[in-house]
A and B are shown apart, each in its own frame.
Chain A
Amino acid sequence: MPCIAAKELTFKVKGKVIVKDLSAELCGGLNVVLGPNGAGKTTLLRLFAGVLRPTQGSVLIDGAPPDKVRARISYVPAQLSLDPMTRVVDLAEAINYGKDGSWRKRLREYLSTLGIEWAAERRFSTLSSGEQRLATIAAALSRGGDVIIADEPTEFLDVSNRAKVFALFRGLVNKGALVIIATHDVRRAGQADRVLVLSRGVVTFAGQPGEGLVEALSKAYGVDAKTLLEA
């Protein structure tokens, strides 16, 4: 089971601290990172995926830094600004840099699981926001890594597609993958094996969803979290 270990992780940009002295260990399972805008969720995920380098501290995936195990990482970015002419298959090919051609088969499988098997040769500009999101997830997963890091994977998705995406991630977890998702979809926390709540770059809750989570969320978002979870 893959493990990500963050040790005394700090990330600063232009003197501003985004992630502060963060230590956490996530081994396998479906992990959900919650927190208000600007809490540092995206930065933390990018540090995990090796897209950003820590200012201090370290990220280790099964004992190795992310750039030594990049073939194992599938990263779904929150947003991509693409040439409008980019096709889904073009994005997947770009994502699979340094990999053999087996990604094509995986891309078709994931597109089909997400219900958009017709989209492979389509241009992004011809897809709806939700379809673009699903296609980006399928393209990222086609890398075939067992460490899956997804930033806002359910943004723009309707209820049924959100369920599809979570079912897909759950299936990957059952096959032994480590999945880490950042989301604003607080209600999904109940389906996670582990929840991290971030507030101003610091972990204020880490563990299984439960009573402590409600309190941490209430504090982080500054509202009664029960209403968020039930809404």
Chain B
Amino acid sequence: MRAERLTLTLIAISLPLSVLLSLSIGPYRSVDFPVVVAALVGLPVSRLSLDVLTYRAVRTLAAGVLGAGLAVSGSTLQFTLRNPLADPYLAGVASGSLLGVTLALLWGRASFWDLYAAAIAGGLLTLSAVITISGLAGGGAVTLLVVGVAFSYVLSGLTMFFMIMLGPRLPGALYWMFGSVAFMTLPLVERTLVILVPAAAALAALSRPLNSLLLGDEVARAIGVRVRLVRLSSFALASLITAALVSMAGPVGFIGLVAPWLAKRSFGVRFSTVLWASAAMGAEIAVLSDVIARLVLFPSEAPLTAVTSVFGAPLLVYILIKSRGE
């Protein structure tokens, strides 16, 4: 109980601090922490500062939404697959969505909803294929990971072929393919939230049956859980969320793995708690990673994925070792 309260307190303090940090950092060095505070308390600030702050606020919001969504999607996959290594990126969902979006772009479709539909189709197809094939290969946590990563490579390879075919439209698509929140607009974030919030609420409603999947399918079914229905709907919801996030910001890895892991560490394996706790942690990780992305090559910036991968991949290995050792 003490550990839980400590974690809650830590999140409650550090999340707002991360947001403040994110608002205070960027190439416009004149718009710094004192200006942010001045703007927040309602003191007059210059028009330029206000514009810069608005841009950073949208970007911060987008990073938060992205991180929270990836965490929710990752938690869902980890509970439904009973696999602590499941992650929307590693399970291939994000790569499938990415290929879908690239094909849609190639087709000359560029509206959010077109891209979104393509992302869902790609993500769902990939997830189904990965789960089926890893089942045929004997199942297990590591099998899923290997099959998912193999799929990601194949799909990323294909995506690269199709990207080149985009011709003059390539540079814009390329930056998006890196995974970044640098070019966010408020409508884009809003459209993502329209999908994310109801999907997360539906998942919260599925908390109890999702939780009971930890007993294994047969025992869960025996105590009355409608295993197939619960699993299919939660897969669909997780894919929906991932697809929306990929359409918004491109593929960003490891947050969906790390945030649920941290949440389970602090709060145990209880879906209703892990859902919101990992969302808060994911939001914070994404906001901080985006700050780092802006700082490492200052005044230029790195893609968000670059940062999350550098920190996330070693943690994946650590989790793998821990989950096997235990």
Binary flags per residue of B198-241, CB closer than 8 Å to A gives 1, else 0: 00000000001101111110111111110000000000000000
Q: How far is the CA of A50 from the CA of B221 in the complex (A)?
A: 9
- The listed residue (A46, A75, A94, A121) touching B1 by CB distance below 8 A is A121
Chain A neighbourhood of B51, CB < 8 A: none
B83 to A, closest residue via Cβ: A83
Q: How far is the CA of A50 from the CA of B323 in the complex (A)?
A: 31
Q: Is the CB of B218 within 8 A of A52?
A: yes
- The listed residue (A46, A70, A125) touching B224 by CB distance below 8 A is A70
Candidate in B214, B223, B323, B326 with the most chain A CB atoms within 10 angstroms: B223
Chain A neighbourhood of B326, CB < 8 A: 84, 125
Q: How far is the CA of A84 from the CA of B268 in the complex (A)?
A: 10
Given A77-B219, A83-B82, is A97 in contact with B208 using a C-beta cutoff of 8 Å? yes
- At the interface, is chain B mostly helix, strand, loop or mixed? helix
Binds B, one of A12-20, A85-93, A167-175, A216-224: A85-93
Q: Is the CB of B224 within 8 A of A93?
A: no
Asked if B122 CB lies within 8 Å of chain A CBs, one says no
Give the interface size class of chain A: 20 to 34
Asked if A159 CB lies within 8 Å of chain B CBs, one says no
Asked if B269 CB lies within 8 Å of chain A CBs, one says yes
Asked if B265 CB lies within 8 Å of chain A CBs, one says yes
Q: Is the CB of A85 within 8 A of B216?
A: no
Asked if B59 CB lies within 8 Å of chain A CBs, one says no
- The listed residue (A73, A81, A85) touching B264 by CB distance below 8 A is A85
Given A85-B265, A87-B269, A94-B212, is A51 in contact with B218 using a C-beta cutoff of 8 Å? yes
Within 8 A of A (CB), among B248-278: 261, 264-265, 268-270
Q: How far is the CB of B267 from chain A (nearest CB, A)?
A: 9
Asked if A201 CB lies within 8 Å of chain B CBs, one says no
Chain B neighbourhood of A52, CB < 8 A: 218
Q: Is the CB of B223 within 8 A of A98?
A: yes
Chain A neighbourhood of B82, CB < 8 A: 81, 83
Q: How far is the CA of A230 from the CA of B252 in the complex (A)?
A: 64
Binary flags per residue of A34-62, CB closer than 8 Å to B gives 1, else 0: 00000000000010011110000000000
Q: How far is the CB of A144 from chain B (nearest CB, A)?
A: 13
B84 to A, closest residue via Cβ: A83
Q: How far is the CA of A51 from the CA of B222 in the complex (A)?
A: 5
Q: How far is the CB of B298 from chain A (nearest CB, A)?
A: 37
Q: Is the CB of B270 within 8 A of A90?
A: yes
Chain B neighbourhood of A84, CB < 8 A: 84, 322-323, 326
Apart from the given pairs A50-B222, A75-B222, 9 other A-B contacts in the complex at a CB distance below 8 Å: A77-B215, A80-B215, A80-B216, A83-B264, A83-B323, A84-B322, A97-B220, A98-B224, A125-B326
